[in-house]
Structure 1
Amino acid sequence: MDTLRPDPTFHPSPKLAMQAEKERLAYTALLSPDRSRPDALAVVDVDETSSTYGKVLSRAELPNRGDELHHFGWNACSSSLSPLTGHAFLQRRYLIVPGMRTSRMYIFDTQPDPTQPRLVKTIEPDEIRSKTGYSRPHTVHCGPEGIYVSTLGGGGTDGAIGPPGVFIMDCQTFEVLGRWEIDRGPQQLHYDFWWNLPRDYMVSSEWALPPQFEQGLVAEDLLGNKYGHRLHFWDLRDRRHVQTIDLGENHQMALEVRPAHDPTREYGFVGVVVDTTNLEASIWTWWREDGKFHARKTATVPAEPADAAKLPALLKGFGAVPPLVSDIDLSLDDRFLYVACWGTGELRQYDVSDPMAPRLAGSVRLGGIANRYGHPNGKPFGGGPQMTEISRDGRRVYFTNSLYSTWDAQFYPDGIPGVQVMCRVQPGGGMELDPGFYVEFGDGYGAHQVRLQGGDCSTDSFCYPSV
């Protein structure tokens, strides 16, 4: 009868999820920057009572090379408790892992031993292309009726024939079902996506097509404002585009979207990597009012002057380091927004109790293109704060340091050995790096996305209000 009970890691509301037990394991995507070895999925012990705390417990290597693992996710999460679902008795058991460069996807089973995930299925790129016309799978979200996967490429070898979009996978067989969109509207680029399930809308963002990122940043395209700079809003149930907001072509690369977790709150945030007029990064708040969506720039992070001798070739002519906001993440209580400044080596914590007026509440420095801030334990840190994941209770923030292999090589030509670290957060705001948590993944690996056992702040979507 246990299979007829909802998974205990599914929670109706964000507040109830915050009260759940602490995470014990973290799953981290590792990539081989030079593609000399297969990428891997690492399991890290994050249980502070364990004798192996902060250690890599296992590493599952993939059977192929060159996949470039990216934003993987669970087969099922708290969205399964939606009153519209037909799958309330799924388990948060399988990790859906996309290889962005090869358009291949992997399914890992975390049972019976969560410390030893097993590869149980490989989805070849031909299946994705033939059923959807898409390529370069990027972000995975578990929805009430299936697994949603965003893509960055369309058809053709270079992924530039036709626009990218979202496709759906069966959450039990993992079969690719087809395109999600019924009416795409003007959307031509893609990156991240997320939703408010009870309010029945989805929001998506824009990066670029594969020729603009796979071999590295194309400086001419950036200076020509040819990367993405728009938000798209969708009717979730009808699967149709309803509105576009252009943030302005100088606001290049609108990436991570983070809706409020409480479904009664109809707002969210998006991070913009760089403003081509002054190299600053920015945070925008979007919201819905009277049936229409709006967006406003609510926080900026300035570029930092730097000696040209310390800069890679791409930046020498600017004499400054752009923050390069590459990830943002929102705590489950919707209070703190974490902003990863991969270029300047800073993780910022904003109090967003008023989403229209983010207030800087904390900051840590680690890595960075010019300053190369060291870790409190005395060890170096290549790259800068990148993929960020928050514990359900909001007291721990984990982050890694690799963005994308070819971009890593452009901005950090000395290399970025894969490392995972953690900040401890004070209840009222403020944070500091934990000197005792420093996970090294070994020579030849970069580290990207982190997922926490039992769910985390960029995995779950909730269907009921917090009270």
Structure 2
Amino acid sequence: MPTIAPDPTFYPSPRMAAKAPAESLAYVAAFDPERAMPDAIAVVDVDPASSTFSQIVGQTDMPNTGDELHHFGWNACSSCLCPNASHPHTERRYLIVPGLRSSRLHILDTKDTPKSPKLVKVIEPEEIAEKANYSRIHTIHCGPEGIYANALADAEGNAPGGIMLLDHETFEVRGQWEIDRGPQELAYDFWWHLGHDTMITSEWGLPSTFENGLVPEVLLGSKYGRRLHFWNLHTRKHQQTIELGEEYQLVFELRPAHDPTKAYGFVGCVISLRDLSASIWTWYRDGDRWQVKKTIEIPAEPADPNTLPPVLQGFKAVAPLVTDIDLSMDDRYLYVSCWGTGDMIQYDVTDPLAPKETGRVRIGGIVSRAGHPKAGGPLNGGPQMVEVSRDGRRVYFTNSLYGAVDPQFYPDGIDGWMVKLDVREGGGISFDERFFVNWPKPHRPHQIRLQGGDCSSDSYCYP
């Protein structure tokens, strides 16, 4: 009798995922900051043996303008192999693409034409508001219960933001995920420890404080997000809040350990109001409670005020502005994007409470404007959205943060680009001199997803 096998890109453990074949395509969210042309999902050839290596080889345009495509993800992933998953034979086939500004969700089918995904469904904001009372959709993750999507606000643009569930086959909006949210109001990223039945969420701010750019009074008043929230993943109830402290603002990307037996992870904090430094914090289990410790601090760099954007001139320094992080599949290396200074830093986090720097490159940057071997000349923007291949040998990143925030720190404008780093055995990173995508205007590149999965797309139930 014929048997139905799970999708071959699903792996029970991170160790097996790391042995997967190398990716040949990268899917990249591209948005028009002027909101005059539709945003798109671009497809980049990342196969070094291909004649079109380092080129955009396909594109799917959205049907509307002004979406601001953001942190998209797959409909299904390795979490489908968990014992409590009800859909082990679902395919990693559809990209679920949110519009952060429009609150739309776009469903793209990659199966038959991976270089030209087909738009098969659009979920309008009215449906999301009616069924989940949320708006400003930010991040997508596939999990054992279906598709999780988080939102930064309620349907009216106010607090609380939160998470909703979608059916993994019909893409119907099921409703709000939270049963008891406790004190949680602000939202940003979310991830989980499947082996410890724990969800973690972080904080940014409400649309009124970011859709037209960061508001200095809100930032200096310490009114952006500065907390982590811990939830019971099964009961969907809030359990614990940890505040990093008033000086720490914009608590963003969450990266839990891939090994489901490990109860720790990393979160980036964009800026300290004390000295403009950025920081990485490690959360970990301590008895029956969660604790958080600052384990990396990246200082600001002194600079001539005349070289700085108005928002930084009074400080006479360039803030690192850590805006994204990613953790390799073996939980060994953490990659940290410093969008302000232009650094991409590699840390060995074998001991998650004592990281050690093992590699660094610089490209772009508010003041440095460092170049690339293939591009020539100074570049603007800096390392922003970062993605790591499953085997940990390749690191990709783009240079745009958010349409309304980009000009606050790069007032001359951002010309989009995407680059690739090679990772050396035992630590160290360097540019792939053959790979530089000079992004076609008017779009700017943001989130990256790798064909077959990557280090921030999947979660695992077996060590």
Alpha-carbon distance between aligned partners in 2 of 1:381 and 1:261, rounded to the nearest angstrom: 34
Is 1:350 aligned to residue 347 of structure 2? yes
Which residue number corresponds to residue 7 of structure 1?
Answer: 7
CA pair 369-2 structure 1, distance change in 2 beyond 3 A: farther
Give the corresponding residue for 1:203: 200
Partner letter of residue 264 of structure 1?
T
CA distance, structure 1, for counterparts of residue 458 and residue 378 of structure 2: 33
Per-residue CA distance 1:333-376 (angstroms, 9 max, x = gap): 00000000001100010000000001011000000011111112
Residues 30 and 418 of structure 1 are in contact (CA less than 8 Å); yes or no, is this contact kept in structure 2?
Answer: no
**Counterpart of 1:77 in structure 2: which amino acid?**
C
Quick check: 1:326 aligned with 2:323? yes
CA deviation after TM superposition for structure 1 residue 155, in Å:
2.7
Alpha-carbon distance between aligned partners in 1 of 2:280 and 2:443, rounded to the nearest angstrom: 30
In the alignment, what sits opposite 1:270? 267
CA contact (8 A) 1:328 1:338 kept: yes
Question: 269, 284, 288: which one pairs with 2:281?
Answer: 284
Cα–Cα, structure 1 residues 333 and 2, in superposed 2: closer, same or farther, change >3 Å? farther
Q: Would you say 1:64 and 2:61 are equivalent positions?
A: no
For residues 190 and 2 of structure 1, the distance between their equivalents in structure 2, rounded to whole angstroms, comes to 45
Instruction: Map residues 63-212 of structure 1 onto 2, 5 A cutoff.
Output: 63-156=63-156, 159-160=157-158, 162-212=159-209
After superposition, give the CA deviation of every residue in 1:169-201 in whole Å (9 maximum; x if it has no partner).
000000111000000000010000000112111
Letter in 2 for 1:80: C
CA contact (8 A) 1:106 1:123 kept: yes
In structure 1, C-alpha distance between the alignment counterparts of 2:165 and 2:155, rounded to whole Å? 17
Once the two structures are superposed, what CA deviation does each residue of 1:138-172 show, in whole Å capped at 9, x if it has no partner?
0100001210001111131xx01x30100000000
User: How far, CA to CA, are the matches of 1:380 and 1:303 in structure 2?
Assistant: 21
Per-residue deviation, 1:379: 4.4
Whether contact under 8 Å (1:3, 1:89) holds in the other structure is: no
Farther off after superposition, 42-51 or 227-236 = 42-51
Contact 2:280 2:297 in 1 (8 A): yes
1:152 is paired with a residue whose SS is strand
SS in 1 for 2:404: helix
1 CA distance for matches of 2:349 and 2:18?
Answer: 18
Aligned residues: 462
- Residue 38 of structure 1: aligned partner: 38
Task: Write the letter of the residue equivalent to 2:391.
Answer: D
Question: Once the two structures are superposed, what CA deviation does each residue of 1:102-124 show, in whole Å capped at 9, x if it has no partner?
Answer: 10110000021211100000000
SS at match of 1:410: helix
Matched residues in 1 for 2:150 and 2:39: separation? Answer: 20
Structure 2 CA distance for aligned equivalents of residues 416 and 76 of structure 1: 34
Which residue pairs with 1:298 in the alignment? 295
Q: Distance in 1 between matches of 2:215 and 2:39?
A: 25
Distance in 2 (CA, whole Å) between partners of 1:244 and 1:435 is 44
Contact kept, 8 Å, 1:31 with 1:40, in 2: the verdict is: yes
Q: Cα offset for 1:381?
A: 2.6
Query: Residues 3 and 147 (structure 1 numbering): CA distance in 2 closer, same or farther, change over 3 Å?
Result: farther
Distance 2:132 2:416 in 1: 33
Distance in 2, matches of 1:67 and 1:4, equals: 38
Q: CA shift at 1:382, angstroms?
A: 2.1
**Residue 440 (structure 1) shift:** 2.0
CA distance in 1, matches of 2:183, 2:238: 8
Counterpart mapping for 1:450-465 below 5 A: 450-465=448-463
Residue 409 of structure 2 is matched in structure 1 by 411
Distance in 1 of aligned mates of 2:378 and 2:422: 19
For structure 1, which runs of at least 5 residues remain unmatched after alignment? Answer: none
Q: Is the 8 A contact 2:202 2:227 kept in 1?
A: yes
Contact 2:346 2:357 in 1 (8 A): yes
Q: Match for 1:367 among 358, 364, 368? A: 364
Give the TM-score normalised by the residue count of structure 1.
0.98
| Cα pair 2:340 2:366 within 8 Å, conserved | yes
What do the CA deviations read for 1:206-240 (whole angstroms, capped 9, x no partner)? Answer: 01111111000101111110100000000000000
Kept in 2, the 8 Å contact 1:200–1:235? The answer is: yes
Q: Which moved more, 1:415-424 or 1:320-329?
A: 415-424
> What is the DSSP-based 3-state SS (H/G/I as helix, E as strand, rest coil) of the residue aligned with 1:314?
helix
Shift of 1:319: 0.7
Distance 1:291 1:381 in 2: 48
The one-letter amino acid paired with 1:392 is R
